[in-house]
Each structure stands twice: as C-alpha cells, then as structure tokens.
Amino acid sequence: MPIGQTITQFIIEEQRKIGASGDFTSVLNDTFTACKSISAAVNKGALVGVLGSAGSENVQGETQKKLDVISNDMMIKANEWGGHLAGMASEEMEEVYPIPERYPRGKYLLVFDPLDGSSNIDVNISVGTIFSVLRCPEGVDRPTEKDFLQPGTRQVCAGYALYGPSTMMVMTTGQGVNGFTLDQSVGEFILTHPNMQIPPKTREFAINASNSRFWEAPVKRYIDELLAGADGPRGENFNMRWVASMVAEVHRILTRGGIFMYPKDNKDPSKEGRLRLMYEANPMSFIVEQAGGLSSTGRERIMEIQPRELHQRVPVILGSREEVERLVHYHQEAG
Ligand code: AHG
Ligand code: MN
Ligand code: MN
C-alpha cells in the first residue's frame, strides 16, 4: 500500500513555494509530535489511569482533568527544546511559559488549548488540541504577556488535532485549510482532506440551549426562527447538534457546514463570553475564514480584536457564511 503525502512533506513543499525558512516547519513538527502523544494517552484512557480530575484548578477557576495537565506537559516538552520558539502560553498556565535558559530561543510564539472539550474525556467523547503560531516581536528575546497580545490577523498558522474515531490534524498557514489523518500503524499524519471548504449554506446549528434565558435579543430571534422550521419565517427545518467540544463542532462544520455559537449572554456579567480569544476563538476563526466561512462576535470580526489579556474571553459565532451574516445582521438591527 503506497503511503500518501505526509504532513511534513506537505508543509515543506508549501514553505518552499513562499521561500520560508525551515524554522517554521520545525515548530509545527514538534506540535504534531505532541499531538500524537496526546492522542495515544487519550486513546489508552482508563487502561493507563489518565481519566478523572487532577484535583487542581486552572487560572480560569475550572477544575483540571488529569489529561488537561498531561496534555499541557506534552505540548511544553515537545516544543521547548527545538530553538524555534521564544515562548509559549496555554489555557492551563496563568503566565507565559518562557523557554528554559538551557535551550536556544527562536522567533515564534506558540499559544494553545492542550485539551479542548475536556469535560468529554471521562465519557469517551471526542476532544482535541487547538494551537496558534504568532511571530515574536522584533528585538524581543524574552517575551512577556504583552508580546503575545496580537490580533488573530497576525497568526502565521493555526490548527487543531481532533481525537475522534480517527485522529486528525487540520491546519492553515493562510493558504487554505488541509486535513490529515493519523495512520496509527505508521505514526504519520497523511493528507486525506485537501482544501477543505465550508458550504456557504447550511441547515444545521450548534448552541448550548440551556443558556437560552441568558441570551441577547438578536440570538433569541435567530434561534426562534430556526426552531420554527418549515412553518416559520425561514420556511425550512433546521437540525441541531451540541458536542461540547469546540474542536469536534468546528470539524463538523468544515466537513458538512453549519453554524456554531457561544454568544454573549448575561449569565455572568463579568465574562464577555465562554470561549478564550487567544487559543480557541482566534485559531478557529483563522481556519474557518480560510475555508470560506465567517467568524464574528456578532458585533465585530474576531480576528480583528486587539487582545487585552492572555485568557480573555469572547463571544463566538462562526461557520457557514450565509448564516453568520444573517446573525450579524440581526445584531446590527438591534443596535
Ligand atoms: P475546554 O475543555 O478547553 O475548557 O473548552 C470547552 C469549551 C468548548 O470546547 C465547548 O464548545 C464549550 O466549552 C462547552 O461549553 P458548555 O459546557 O457550556 O456547553
Ligand atoms: Mn477549550
Ligand atoms: Mn482546554
């Protein structure tokens, strides 16, 4: 059986086209290695005692799962030694992680959600890893938080690994979106989903409806119209899905279209949204836009937000173009 195009070959050939240095390929290779290790740990699950709570909390006050901590360590260990990164930041670490003094430092910054959807871990439902690569500002050797606070439009690369029935890696460097499936027997991600495109129309939506009493008027209006189906103003029936793993949700949308919403609500006025800008919303927005979709808070394009802090939260509405446009329009009409 001939082996398909590996992800490393794909990136090297893509980098050649734009005359980029090999540094960037190395950053990604280390991240792929980490994701393969996380995939193996997720896959073995209870056999190796990695399920359940770690008994600690992260900076956002969420209980950490053992696999949140393990995945974070795997990302750090796989990426800190190579000499291509100047620093890292993660959902699971309050502060920026500096590259240890014993290693050389490079020109990129890596930001990640080591395990997304981790509430699904103990019930054996898909989870993932999300990452975003930024450039370290010129002349900065030891980056601090402010060096990471770049809008999503400045991302050099974004991707996610999905640990589902198959393990997949989906990524963009700003030249479209490509999907790779892990061939477990070879240990390589192989190109299986070239040039992924989100269909502009959809009849499927994803939202956590238990928050409906906290939603703002434009979101209520939009969802009411979808729920009214063929008898309502849309004149069509819509289907609903909610996995509670953003990675799985975005992957479904990349595959067959859809709209995903974690909108602004008034459940906890101290939080601007549920999802985090730097390592969830921005990388997913880059991927979605590169696949022909749209991503917005309802009021502005997510990738144009100037971040104020590393763990900042934002409302997220993304997916098939026509539906995102409609919901943004409802926000405009509401003023
Ligand atoms: P994480 O596990 O990294 O904290 O992220 C979970 C996120 C996202 O993946 C998902 O869409 C959302 O939280 C689910 O939220 P609810 O539990 O409110 O449905
Ligand atoms: Mn997450
Ligand atoms: Mn997470």
pLDDT tens digits along 157-197: 999 999 999 999 999 999 999 999 999 999 999 999 999 99
Q: Where are the domains of the chain?
A: 7-193, 204-334
CA 64 to centroid of ligand 1, rounded, Å:
13
- The per-residue pLDDT for 2 is 63
Q: Are strands 177-183 and 204-206 parallel, antiparallel or unpaired?
A: unpaired
| 63 touches ligand 1 (CB under 6 Å) | no
Ligand 1 neighbour 117 (Cβ under 6 A): yes
- What is the distance between the alpha carbons of residues 208 and 306, in angstroms, rounded to a whole number? 27
Give residue 225 CA to ligand 1 midpoint distance, Å. Answer: 25
Is 55 or 263 the better-scoring residue by pLDDT? 263
Three-state DSSP class for residue 289: helix
- Which ligand has the nearest atom to the CA of 316? 1
Closest atom of ligand 1 to 247 CA is 9
Rounded mean pLDDT of 279-297? Answer: 98
Q: What is the mean pLDDT of the chain?
A: 96
pLDDT digits (tens, 9 = 90+) for 191-207: 999 999 999 999 999 99
Contact between residue 292 and residue 198 where contact means Cβ atoms under 8 Å apart: yes
Would you call 210 exposed, middle or buried from its count of C-beta atoms within 10 A (0-12, 13-18, 19+)?
exposed
- State pLDDT tens for residues 232-279: 999 999 999 999 999 999 999 999 999 999 999 999 999 999 999 999
The verdict on the CB of residue 92 being under 6 Å from ligand 1 is no
* Any ligand 1 atom below 6 A from CB of 71: no
Contact (CB, 8 A) for 130 and 283: yes
pLDDT for residue 17 is more than 90: no
Residue nearest to atom 12 of ligand 1 (CA): 244
Which residue from 63, 274, 284 has its CB within 8 A of the most atoms of ligand 1, so it is best to mutate? Answer: 274
**E strands of 58-149, at which residues?**
63-65, 85-90, 97-98, 108-116, 127-135
Is residue 1 pLDDT above 70, yes or no? no
Rounded CA gap, 218 and 209, in Å?
Answer: 15
| 225 Cα: distance to centroid of ligand 2 (angstroms) | 29
pLDDT at 32 over 70: yes
Say which residue, 50 or 30, is predicted with more confidence.
30
Q: Which atom of ligand 1 sits closest to the CA of residue 60?
A: 4
The domain defined by 204-334 carries CATH number 3.40.190.80: yes
Nearest CA to ligand 1 atom 7: 117
Among residues 209, 322, 195, the alpha carbon closest in space to that of 258 is found at 322
Tokens matching residue 287: 């991927």
Among 119, 163, 259, the mutation site with the greatest number of ligand 1 atoms within 8 A of its Cβ is 119
Amino acid at 75: M
Residue 34's pLDDT is what? 98
Instruction: Find out whether the beta carbon of 116 lies less than 6 Å from any atom of ligand 1.
Output: yes
Residue nearest to atom 19 of ligand 1 (CA): 244
Tell me which residue has its CA closest to atom 14 in ligand 1: 244
Q: What mean pLDDT is predicted for residues 326-331?
A: 98
Note the pLDDT of residue 177.
Answer: 98
Q: Hey, which CATH number is domain 7-193, 3.30.540.10, 3.20.20.105, 3.20.20.80, 3.40.50.720?
A: 3.30.540.10
pTM score above 0.85: yes
Cα separation, 281 vs 276, whole angstroms: 6
Query: How many CB atoms are closer than 10 A to CB 82?
Result: 17
Q: Residue 316: which of 270, 269, 266, 265 has the closest Cα?
A: 265
Query: Is 18's pLDDT higher than 90?
Result: no
In this predicted structure, the answer to whether residue 147 has a pLDDT above a threshold of 90 is: yes
> Quick check: CB of 60 below 6 Å from ligand 1?
no
Q: Please state the atom number of ligand 1 nearest to the C-alpha of residue 120.
A: 2
Q: Specify the ligand 1 atom closest to the Cα of 249.
A: 11
Nearest by Cα to 197 from 258, 260, 259, 254: 254
CA 273–ligand 2 middle distance (angstroms): 13
Closest listed ligand to the CA of 71: 3
Pairing type for strands 204-206 and 259-262 reads parallel
* C-alpha gyration radius of the chain: 19
Instruction: Quote the percentage of the chain above a pLDDT of 90.
Output: 90
Which amino acid makes up residue 141? D
Q: For residue 202, which of 264, 245, 249 has the smallest C-alpha distance?
A: 249
pLDDT interval class at 62 (50, 70, 90): confident
Average pLDDT over residues 11-23: 84
Report pLDDT digits (tens) over 65-113. 999 999 999 999 999 999 999 999 999 999 999 999 999 999 999 999 9
Same fold, 7-193 and 204-334: no
Q: Residue 21's pLDDT is what? A: 75
Q: What's the whole-number mean pLDDT along residues 306-329? A: 98
Q: Which ligand is nearest to the CA of 278?
A: 2
**Interacting residues of 314 by C-beta distance below 8 A, sequence separation 6+:** 272, 273, 275, 276, 277, 281, 297, 302, 305
